[in-house]
């Protein structure tokens, strides 16, 4: 693996950004497009919307709930292996779903198996961007995370066309083949050893309980890896603790609480914006257009806010920028009940979409600023894990 004194801020890093961009298309965009199948599932299985909607909740919840597992495999095996394995599992889930005979079958295949596959890909790919970038970190993340909005914008009509041409079974089968591109993305994730990682390894060697013979072996390694040598129980415990010692950092605790409240508050809007618009007399076509606006402006927020927060004047205050973006989304939601017609809901979609894209870009950036690059993969696993329960329960609670 390549060794650098610090993040190279370019070079192969742009290929990492491209790989992460494709990962967000194949995970987050495909997850959003699953809702397009709901009408087909309702008609075929004769179930109501509530039972069918659990499919989307389960895949979202499984993706976030298993995020620490993705970080664990990435840290102890390799990012490439983790993402490739995730791509195979996600693809298998979608292909098995095309043979579904009941909603329960879809809960397991499309919900649990595909969600687990996405989890093994999502947080490790995002963490790799943080390893390769420092000065232009927010811009790199903005480009990488925009895959979710761009992918949704392109995939939504394509999936609808596939359903019309090949039925929902054929569309799921084709999506299963498309998601196999995650294996290609995994191959792009070339590992990198930074000076900060080597420092962590040297601190590990300084511990008194590590035997001298093991120290000689470990000195030949650039980073801690349980695959190279069989360590003693104490060494494994210490290395595991070093991966998650950020959990006791006050800064990370505050960030974790912030993420919990944010995830509960912002996720229901994507489920209920269209039903709310219809309830205040907006036509079906206009309601769908509101979601299109939200998706496109989300992409603009990803890239422009990332670029802005990389400027020298804002770089030291990125956590305040994150709080401002989340706060603006909260204010938008507070004003929503008084927006009773289409001309008022259009600027709402613009504002909410822009700041939604902004804070999504800044989550990994702020996490890296709090915990450092060496712990970023594990920290992102925990941060996305905190999204799981809010994503599962907040839409029913809001309903």
Dihedral sign for Cα atoms in the order 264, 265, 271, 275: positive
What's the Rg (C-alpha) of the chain?
Answer: 22
Domain annotation covers residue 117: yes
How many DSSP H helices and E strands does the chain contain?
A: 21, 2
- Output the domain CATH number for residue 252: 1.20.1250.20
Q: What share of the chain is helix, strand, coil (3-state, %, to 5)?
A: 80, 0, 15
Q: Looking at the domain assignment, is residue 231 inside a domain?
A: no
> What is the Cα–Cα distance from 48 to 57, expressed in whole angstroms?
15
Q: Residue 196: its pLDDT value, please?
A: 62
At residue 223, φ and ψ (nearest 5 deg) are -140, 165
Cα separations in angstroms, 395 against 60, 377, 392: 12, 28, 7
Whole-number Å distance between alpha carbons of 67 and 88: 16
Q: Which two tokens stand for residue 367?
A: 């996490």
Longest dimension (CA), the chain: 75
**Strand partners for 194:** 4
What pLDDT, on the 0 to 100 scale, is given for residue 232? Answer: 47
- Neighbouring residues of 125: CB distance < 8 A, sequence distance ≥ 6: 19, 20, 23, 24, 79, 83, 144, 185, 189
Is residue 392 a part of any domain in this protein?
A: yes
- Give the C-alpha separation, 6 to 194, whole Å: 6
Cβ atoms 385, 65 nearer than 8 A:
yes
DSSP SS3 for 193: strand
DSSP 315-350: HTTHHHHHHHHHHHHHHHHHHGGG--SHHHHHHHHH
Residue 305, C-beta contacts closer than 8 angstroms, at least 6 positions apart: 138, 142, 321, 325, 354, 357, 358, 361, 362
Helix H or strand E segment including 159: helix 147-179
In a domain, 96, yes or no: yes
Give SS3 for 186.
helix
Number of domains present in the structure of the chain: 1
Distance of alpha carbon 298 from alpha carbon 256, whole angstroms: 23
Q: Which residues contact 95 (CB under 8 A, 6 or more apart)?
A: 172, 173, 176
pLDDT at position 1? 57
Rounded-to-integer distance, Cα 275 and Cα 288, Å = 10
At 6 the pLDDT is 67
Q: Tell me what pLDDT residue 5 has.
A: 63
Which residue range(s) make up the domain with 392?
A: 3-193+244-398
Are 30 and 97 in contact by the 8 Å Cβ rule? The answer is no
- Please report whether residue 179 resides in a domain: yes
Name residues whose C-beta falls within 8 Å of residue 302's C-beta, 6 or more positions apart in sequence. 142, 143, 145, 146, 149, 357, 358, 360, 361
CA 349, CA 293: separation in Å to the nearest integer?
A: 6
Element (H, E) at 30: helix 30-33
**Average pLDDT by stretches of 10, the chain with 399 residues:** 67 90 92 82 82 84 89 86 94 95 92 94 89 85 88 85 92 95 90 64 48 50 46 49 77 89 83 82 83 84 85 82 92 90 91 90 88 83 87 77
- The single residue listed with the structure tokens 């712990």 is 375
Strands (DSSP E) found in the chain: 2-4, 192-194
Residue 216 inside a domain? The answer is no
Residue 276: both structure tokens together: 């709310």
User: Distance (Å, rounded) from C-alpha 2 to C-alpha 21?
Assistant: 22
Nearest to 166 by CA among 151, 150, 177: 177
Task: Supply the pLDDT for residue 313.
Answer: 81
Please report the pLDDT score of residue 348 as a whole number.
Answer: 93
Between CA 21 and CA 169, with CA 182 as vertex, the angle to 5 degrees is: 110
Within-domain flag for 292: yes
In a domain, 348, yes or no: yes
């Amino acid at each position: 693996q390549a060794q650098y004194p610090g993040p190279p801020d370019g070079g192969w890093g742009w290929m990492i950004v491209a790989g992460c961009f494709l990962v967000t298309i194949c995970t987050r965009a495909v997850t959003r497009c699953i809702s397009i199948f709901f009408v087909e599932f309702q008609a075929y299985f004769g179930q109501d919307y509530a039972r069918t909607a659990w499919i989307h909740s389960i895949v979202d919840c499984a993706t976030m709930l298993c995020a620490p597992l993705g970080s664990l495999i990435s840290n102890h095996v390799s990012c490439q292996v983790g993402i490739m394995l995730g791509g195979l599992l996600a693809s298998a889930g979608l292909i098995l779903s095309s043979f579904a005979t009941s909603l329960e079958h879809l809960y397991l295949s499309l919900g649990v198996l595909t969600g687990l596959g996405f989890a093994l890909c999502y947080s490790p790919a995002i963490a790799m961007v943080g390893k390769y970038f420092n000065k232009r970190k927010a811009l790199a993340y903005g480009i990488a995370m925009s895959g979710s909005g761009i992918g949704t914008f392109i995939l939504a009509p394509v999936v609808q066309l596939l359903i019309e041409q090949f039925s929902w079974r054929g569309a799921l089968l084709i999506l299963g083949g498309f998601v196999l591109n995650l294996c290609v993305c995994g191959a792009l994730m070339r590992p990198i050893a930074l000076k900060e990682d080597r420092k962590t390894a040297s601190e590990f060697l300084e511990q008194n309980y590590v035997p001298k013979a093991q120290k000689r072996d470990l000195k030949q390694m650039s980073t801690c890896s349980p695959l190279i040598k069989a360590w003693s129980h104490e060494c494994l415990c210490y290395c595991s603790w070093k991966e998650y010692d950020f959990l006791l950092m006050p800064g990370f605790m505050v960030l974790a609480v912030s993420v919990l409240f944010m995830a509960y508050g912002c996720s229901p809007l994507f489920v209920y914006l269209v039903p709310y618009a219809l309830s205040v007399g907006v036509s079906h076509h206009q309601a769908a257009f509101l979601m299109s606006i939200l998706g496109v402006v989300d992409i603009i927020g990803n890239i422009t806010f990332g670029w802005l927060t990389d400027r020298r004047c804002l770089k030291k205050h990125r956590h305040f920028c994150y709080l401002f973006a989340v706060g603006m989304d909260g204010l938008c939601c507070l004003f929503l009940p008084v927006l009773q017609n289409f001309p008022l809901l259009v600027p709402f979609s613009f504002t909410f979409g822009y700041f939604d894209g902004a804070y999504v870009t800044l989550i990994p950036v702020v996490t890296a600023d709090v915990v450092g690059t060496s712990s970023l993969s594990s920290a992102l696993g925990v941060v996305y894990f905190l999204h799981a329960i809010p994503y599962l329960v907040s839409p029913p609670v809001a309903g």
